[in-house]
Structure 1
């Protein structure tokens, strides 16, 4: 995908719409051990300076969150409670909005993902933002401030699976301040077992919530 096409996908429409559009897209990492990939099943939108739960709230800008101020498609990797998180900057440069990828349904390299997760199997491999990064074997900030699809970490934005239904809810574990705490900016594929916190009785074990 060309740079201008990448920027078009990650800007030019509300961040919530971009977040829903990323569901069903394949996230791939060409690791030193081999190709690892999965389909994005859960993601959260963060609306920048006005969003009291966002890292750039009130225009906060530091070396740690500089990636959020980059071009749309800039990779933002940060740590939370000792775990690495994968975020993509969206909107135009210096408009620090982003998408946190929270759940991944494994496709390529499942055995290696399980090894990276110290033997975890099934949905526990990658049903959470820290888990999926561990499953991919990304345990550093080396790719922070680089562009999606310009290196070993890529998202296939031209193809994807179609969810039967997308559920909207409040975000998980955000800062409890202001009216944004319960804002409905978490989106996930209904019934997919790899969505964080998905209850067994709500799982669609036949189609995993996909139309195709």
Structure 2
């Protein structure tokens, strides 16, 4: 079993208490960790998308839609919102604060720990394709619907400090063509030139974060 390195410590609740667009950018470079009986699997977040309901037609919580699926989005920031799309489980970070149903989809990771677990779970060997998509990364890390609603401030599923990107790219979200004006919102963020970003790397602009 691969043990958790001492330097990996869950981020505190306060980290998540930012406006959603700010948090979507702050997540880039953070380490997403899943602990199982096998050990840990983890990767650096390299791509995110923000969904800001109830005014965002692309959000599951659009128009304050409160269902069994979206219930956790109305809770405090820093919980896991998982849902099924086709046969894939997708992972989101709840944001916005209580009664403000917002969330951030994690779209891609750069593998870091437990890579052998990831390869076995995905049934592939190529490192670049292990976690370069929202359905790929959940399968690689072992994130499932059982993680719905869990707090991200402690095991088994949590975020930890990673690295600070030099620059991030900003562009339109993916796969939401039938959402009116929402399809054009520049609410997708990724680490510029990172090889593990999923696809469609056309950007609106780049933010240089280097001092």
Q: 1:95 and 1:196 mapped to 2: Cα distance? A: 28
* TM-score (normalised: structure 1): 0.86
Deviations 1:136-165 (Å, cap 9, x if unpaired)?
122x31111111023300101xx3212121
For structure 2, which runs of at least 5 residues remain unmatched after alignment? Answer: 1-8, 202-208
Q: Which residue of 2 aligns with 1:43?
A: 48
Question: Quick check: 2:54–2:65 contact (8 Å CA) kept in 1?
Answer: yes
Indicate yes or no: 2:137 matched with 1:146: no
**Counterpart pick for 2:101 among 84, 96, 120:** 96
Indicate yes or no: 2:174 matched with 1:169: no
The alpha-carbon deviation at position 14 of structure 1 amounts to 2.5
CA RMSD of aligned residues (A): 1.9
The alpha-carbon deviation at position 29 of structure 1 amounts to 0.6
Q: 1:118 and 1:182 mapped to 2: Cα distance? A: 35
Runs of 4+ in 1 over 4 A off after TM superposition: none
Deviations 1:99-158 (Å, cap 9, x if unpaired)?
1000100110111101111124121100000000011122x31111111023300101xx
Question: Quick check: 1:70–1:145 contact (8 Å CA) kept in 2?
Answer: no
Q: 2:164 and 2:50 mapped to 1: Cα distance? A: 19
Q: 1:81 and 1:43 mapped to 2: Cα distance? A: 20
**Counterpart pick for 1:122 among 112, 120, 127:** 127
For structure 1, which runs of at least 5 residues remain unmatched after alignment? Answer: 200-209
**Counterpart pick for 1:184 among 180, 183, 186:** 186
Q: Which residue of 2 aligns with 1:205?
A: none
Question: Quick check: 1:192–1:198 contact (8 Å CA) kept in 2?
Answer: no
* TM-score (normalised: structure 2): 0.87
How many residues are treated as equivalent by the alignment? 195
